[in-house]
Amino acid sequence: MTAKKWTWLVIAVIYIAFFSWYTSFKGPLTQAEIEHYLELSQVRDLDASAEGLANIRAFMEEDSGDDFVMINIIHMYDTPLQIDGVEPGETTDEVLAKYMEYMLPAMLSRASHPVFRGPAVSRALDIMNAEGMETWSIGAGVRYRSRRDMLEIGTNPAFAGSHEFKVAAMAKTIAFPVDPFNYLGDPRLVLALLLGLIGCGLSWWFTASRTSER
């Protein structure tokens, strides 16, 4: 096999491996999975309201099986709540980092990750029928490979302890899913373009090298 063919074979293997890991092929949640995750949610939050549980059930029953992005709008406390694990003098950013010590590895292991994050640069410029929603600190979007992956992260017993740091750092937050989600920065597209560029460059170099040797 020529060097050029080996190059494209390696590129194809790399891309297929990444695409297979980054994409969910398991389809929508089954009814058995829905009941399983709903039971775990009730155990984790004994004070969950009927409305909250109904929202979780609807979120699961309407699963498309595809990836989605959770939009997060956050207002941080000036000083974090003093709970177990929060040291005197710690900032809200430091407390939130403790929450992310669980979340970030858990997300990355399931091909889930932030897609954007930034501080608010102004109070809300357009607001309607949302009293008290004028002031925010941060806006962020988190991509999840599937609803199943998000539920696996959220129902893990390790999540319960770290979630307390989120409560201690955030004065208020709104989070809602966006689905379907298509964007030009999708790593599957970016990687395909990058590997294609590398493959074309190497193919040209192999061809030019053989030509110069003649």
Whole-angstrom CA distances from 114 to 59, 122, 158 are 21, 22, 20
Q: What is the mean pLDDT of residues 151-155?
A: 92
For the segment 37-83, what is each residue's pLDDT rounded down to a tens digit?
A: 999 988 887 677 888 889 999 999 999 999 999 999 999 999 999 98
* 43, part of any domain: no
Note if the bond before 187 is cis, omega within 30 degrees: no
User: Total structural domains in the chain?
Assistant: 1
- Exposure of 39 in the CB half-sphere (CA atoms within 13 A): 6
* 122, part of any domain: yes
Nearest to 76 by CA among 102, 58, 94, 101: 94
* 5, part of any domain: no
For the segment 103-129, what is each residue's pLDDT rounded down to a tens digit?
A: 999 999 999 999 999 999 999 999 999
Enumerate the β-bridge partners of residue 138. 74, 119
State which residues form the domain around 81. Answer: 67-179
* 109, part of any domain: yes
* 40, part of any domain: no
* 112, part of any domain: yes
Asked whether the predicted pLDDT for residue 203 surpasses 80, the reply is: yes
Q: What is the CATH number of the domain that holds 95?
A: 3.30.70.100
Report how far residue 15's alpha carbon sits from residue 18's, in angstroms, rounded to the nearest whole number: 5
DSSP, collapsed to helix, strand or coil, labels residue 106 as: helix
Cβ atoms of 96 and 165 within 8 Å: the answer is: yes
| Confidence (pLDDT) at 170 | 95
* 210, part of any domain: no
* 26, part of any domain: no
Report how far residue 196's alpha carbon sits from residue 198's, in angstroms, rounded to the nearest whole number: 5
Cβ atoms of 110 and 21 within 8 Å: the answer is: no
